[in-house]
Homo-oligomer: A and B are copies of this chain.
Amino acid sequence: MGGTDQVRGIRRLPAADNAGDTRNHLPVEAVINLDQGDPTMYEAFWRKLEYECTFVIKGYESLSYFSNPKNPCWFLEPKLEESIKSLHGAVGNAETDGYSIVVGTGSSQLLQAVLYAVTSRDQTNPINVVSAAPYYSTYMEITELVRSGLYKWAGDAHEFDRDEPYVEVVTSPNNPNGVIRGAVVNREGGILVHDLAYYWPQYTPITSSLDFDIMLFTASKCTGHAGSRIGWALVKDKEVAKRMTKFMEVSTIGVSKESQLRVAKILQVVADRCKRFGSPEGDDFFEFGKSVLTKRWEMLREAVKKTNMFTLPKYPLQHCTYTGDVTQAHPAFAWIGCNDGMEDCEKLFRNHKVLTRGGRKFGSDPGFVRVSMVGREEEFIVFIERLASMKQMVNTNGDDAAANEKGNLA
């Protein structure tokens, strides 16, 4: 899950024609918004497949609430179910045999459906929801949104020591810091939800096909179609899947048919062109994503090194079963630590007209910020340029020129 905050007052940029040299569009004083993980980086790839991926629906199609009344998840389009299975099979990142698939309006809604599904109206106290800090800032917002009596936010899983029932959200790779994670609390009766939004080959080496009880994915981070609001859950327990479906039924009476059908088409295109099936060079979506992110991470590490002001996580080299390469992670977000003495890293960036999300929102230190790596090329380049200019300005002002590496966050 990527999340988004209010963006009032922020000037948006015209769509780039490609991910290449479009800097000229951007005024020198433009505010660069890297707060949200808006995955517009992928536009360039999808422009190349204009015809294969065009989705057409006639005025009389999909009027009904129902997609497949034979499926307990009666609003799931059969084509989407099929292409989700194809894609996981092609990538090898998650098992689907024996799982129920529940579709959601993004994976945020699916997390709420899980919380509803694993709790009971009869329980006396709300169940604790935890996640290891730094955690995705939206988990807390979701859990606390309407002050539910079924569940409550209990913060950092590392600090959870109550002898009470709990749900732990395990985000792997983690948002914000890209780290591969496992459960932290590990107590009997705990319920685990694996948010695997970023467990795709462009972001991290795929090391095994996962088979956890509840796994969440989203089109936003897989293919970049954030505007479609399509997430899916792979759920082992049929009763949990049914209760999740009930939540979606009351909450939104299902999920947009147009989005489901379009995403079905796109996921199938991605699955059919996977390199492991001998697809021609340039056709593999994940190769494209990985190559852009690899380049961006190199530029970022280079700039950070020169400034001597910031730290970045390091990721281990691992064999990726999808690409066949030994590679490190190139996450969708950079988790940037400011060196000692700079207390509010978000403010520092804001002063340079770069919007980031400060560490406190992730249950962490304000000396960190999360920066989106998946936005438009022109914005990313300006961000890198400003990183360099920050060095000069800070050095000139003598604010902080210390250069202590904060160590390996991974």
Contacts and interface: CB of A to CB of B under 8 A. Distances in A.
Contacts of A255: 105, 229, 256
A52 to B, nearest CB: 7
Contacts of A225: 62-63
Contacts of A3: 253
Nearest to A152: B149
B8 A72 contact: yes
Contacts of A10: 69
A250 B142 contact: yes
Interface in A33-77: 36, 38-40, 42-43, 45-47, 49-50, 52-60, 62-67, 69-70, 72, 74
Interface residues of A, number: 81
Interface of A: 2-8, 10, 12, 36, 38-40, 42-43, 45-47, 49-50, 52-60, 62-67, 69-70, 72, 74, 105-106, 108-109, 112, 115-116, 121, 138, 141-142, 145-151, 220, 224-230, 246-247, 249-259, 262, 266, 269
A53 to B, nearest CB: 3
Nearest to A258: B258
B121 A251 contact: no
Contacts of A121: 147
Nearest to A68: B12
B58 A54 contact: yes
A166 to B, nearest CB: 17
B251 A109 contact: yes
A105 B249 CA distance: 11
Contact of A40 (B2, B43, B63, B151): B63
A38 B56 CA distance: 23
Contact of A229 (B6, B116, B253): B253
B49 A53 contact: no
Contacts of A227: 62-65, 67, 254, 256-258
A2 B64 CA distance: 12
Nearest to A116: B146
Given A145-B247, A146-B116, A65 B259 contact: no
A57 to B, nearest CB: 5
Contact of A39 (B2, B38, B53, B63): B63
A40 B4 CA distance: 36
A246 B74 CA distance: 29
Given A40-B63, A149-B149, A253 B58 contact: no
A57 B59 contact: no
B57 A36 contact: no
Contacts of A2: 65, 253
Contact of A250 (B67, B138, B151, B246): B138
Contact of A53 (B6, B58, B229, B249): B58
A141 B55 CA distance: 35
B38 A66 contact: yes
Nearest to A141: B250
15 contacts: A38-B64, A38-B66, A50-B59, A54-B59, A63-B224, A63-B227, A65-B226, A65-B227, A105-B229, A106-B252, A112-B146, A148-B148, A227-B256, A229-B254, A259-B259
Among A43, A59, A247, A257: residue with most chain B CB under 10 A: A59
A233 B255 CA distance: 19
A256 B105 contact: yes
A49 B59 contact: yes
